[in-house]
Amino acid sequence: MTDTLIENVSDTAFWIAHYRALETQRADALFHDPLAGLLAGERGKQIANAMPKSFMTGWAVVIRTCIIDDYIRFAIAQGVDTVLNLGTGLDTRPYRLDLPRSLVWVEADYPDMIEFKEKRLSSEKPRCQLERVKLDLANLSERRQMFTSVNARAKKMLVLTEGVVPYLSVEEVGSLADDLKALEHACYWIVDYFSTWVIKYRQRLVGKKMQNAPFKFNPENWFEFFAEHGWHCKETRYLSEEAERLHRPMQLPLLSKVILSIRVGLASKERQAAFKRSAGYAMLEPGTTPAAGEKATAVELARISHQR
C-alpha cells in the first residue's frame, strides 16, 4: 500500500463505512448498517488494512455512531423536522434509522460523492424525505444560499457535521459556526470533539498516510471557541465513557494493553479523567453562556490537554 491511498478527505468516507460494515456482521452488533458494505466496497477495506492500529479507529467509529444515533433520536423527540447533514460522506442513517416519514433530511457533499452514493443506492428507499445537494462547503456564496433555502422550509433543524470539522481550519470552522448561528431555525448542531493531545497523537500515528487529509482544527480551547461563535454544549458524550456504558471496550493487542495499563497506572487521577474525556461528540445549541459547570470543565480539560 502506498502512503497516498487517501487522496482527499472524501476517501475517508470509504474507510469509515468499512468499519460500520464490520460492526453489522457481529452477533452482538450495537447497530446494523446493511448498506455500509455496499458503499465501502474494496476501497474501504484497503484503506483500513493500510492504517496502523486499525482496531482503534474501528472502535471509535462504532462508539461515535451510537452517540450520534442517540443525539438524532433525541432531537427528533424534541420536535426537529429537518436534518441538515453537511459533508455527509457515505452515511446511511436515512435508510437505517427509524425516522418519521415527514422528516426532511438534506445531505450536502461534493458532486462526485453525491453521484457515487446515488448510483450505489438507486434501488434503496429511504425512511424519510431525503434530498441531496451537490456542494463544496468552501464555496461561501453557494453554501449560504443553500443554508437559507433549507432554513426557510424548516421549523426546527438539526445540523450534523460528523467527521467534517476536524479537517477544517480554525478560521473555516469559525465561519461555518457563524453561518449556522444566523439560521433562526437551527436549534442543534452535532460536532466532533478531539483534545489537543489526541490530534498530536493522530499526527504521529498516521501523519504520512493522511497527509492529503490532515486534521487542522485545533483551537486553544474547544468549548470556548464555539461559545465565542454563539454555540454552547447542551451535552458532550466521550468515547471512553460511552464505551463503558455500552460494554464495548477497545480490544487491544496484548502488548498495547500492557503498555496502556502501565501508563494509566502511573498517571494521576486528573490525567486519567482527562484521558477518558479526550475525544467524543457534542450536541451544541445556540447561546453564548454555558452553564458554570460546563465552563469549569472546559477550562480544566483544555489545561490538562495542553500539558500532555
Which pLDDT value is given to residue 287? 86
Q: Which amino acid, 92?
A: T
Which pLDDT value is given to residue 266? 64
Class of 9-251+279-289 in CATH? alpha beta
**Cβ–Cβ contacts within 10 Å for residue 21, how many?**
21
pTM assigned to the model: 0.89
Contact 156, 76 (CB under 8 A): no
Angle at 231 between CA 95 and CA 181, to 5 degrees: 75
Which pLDDT value is given to residue 275? 72
Distance CA 208, CA 204 (A): 9
Q: How far is CA 66 from the centre of its chain?
A: 11
Question: At a CB cut-off of 8 Å and minimum separation 6, what does 300 contact?
Answer: none
Distance CA 198, CA 210 (A): 15
Helical segments of 78-169, H only:
93-96, 111-120, 140-153
Joined together, the cell numbers standing for residue 291 give 452553564
**What is the mean pLDDT, run by run of 10 residues, along the chain of 308 residues?**
74 97 98 98 95 92 98 98 98 98 98 97 98 97 98 98 97 98 98 92 85 92 96 96 95 64 66 78 84 43 36
Three-state DSSP at 184 gives coil
**In the chain, what are the domain boundaries?**
9-251+279-289
Backbone φ and ψ of 307, nearest 5°? -80, -20
Adjacent-strand bridge partners of 188:
158
Distance CA 52, CA 4 (A): 14
Distance CA 242, CA 64 (A): 9
Distance CA 6, CA 295 (A): 37
Which pLDDT value is given to residue 133? 98
Distance CA 73, CA 46 (A): 33
